[in-house]
Structure 1
Amino acid sequence: MPERLPSGDVEAVFSLMDDEFTRSMWHFHCQLLLHTYFKVPDVRRCQITGMHGCMFIDKTREGAVYQETRETVTLNEWTDHIYQNTMQEHIITNVVSGRKMRIQNYLEPLGGFREGDP
């Protein structure tokens, strides 16, 4: 359940951990894939940080792979990008209201794989 912090921010913590039960279904240790949708008043008026330098697959261009060159990503056309190995922190800013959402990820070393994983 999300909690309101003394600062007024809202914090929600999600975690995914493997165990014998999950490994009985999937023969590997878990790794996290963050697939999110955020409701915003106008996506064309939002800014996203934390993607600079990352490789991404552009699904609107037949899966072509590109490197993100922008410090701040804005959307002005139909977009379906899959970013890989992103930074630890992302900030989504609603330019109209000035509100911001900070997303932080904490992964185990080596992207969630442990020594001895297949």
Structure 2
Amino acid sequence: MDFEKLLVWQRAKALTVSVYKEMAACPDLVFKSQITRSALSIPSNIAEGMERFTARDKCRFLRIAKASCGELRTQLMIGSEIAYVAEPLAAVWIIETRELSKMLNGLINRISD
């Protein structure tokens, strides 16, 4: 299965692009680096996992991508509270990380069956 065809990868990539664009002007370089790295980790680990040969390896990287969704969600909550990320945008992105997490869980379940 080509990872580029997976809706979860497409949406994760789009979220990452949005995060990078929005955070470009963030004056806190440490926060900017952390939030962009966690966002980038989601589609990257989906791609790496889907390129693996065994179901166990695929699921391992998909679980890492799912964990990165939680990491990004936490950073978005904090970023919103400290006014680094506009609250309405953070809310949209938080919803998207929850959706991606659910999609990854479904994909993990499907692969591991």
User: Bigger relative contact order, structure 1 or 2, given CA contacts below 8 A and separation 6+?
Assistant: 2
Judge same fold: TM > 0.5, yes or no. Answer: no
- Higher relative helix content: 2
Which structure would you say has the larger Rg?
Answer: 1
TM-score (normalised: structure 1): 0.31
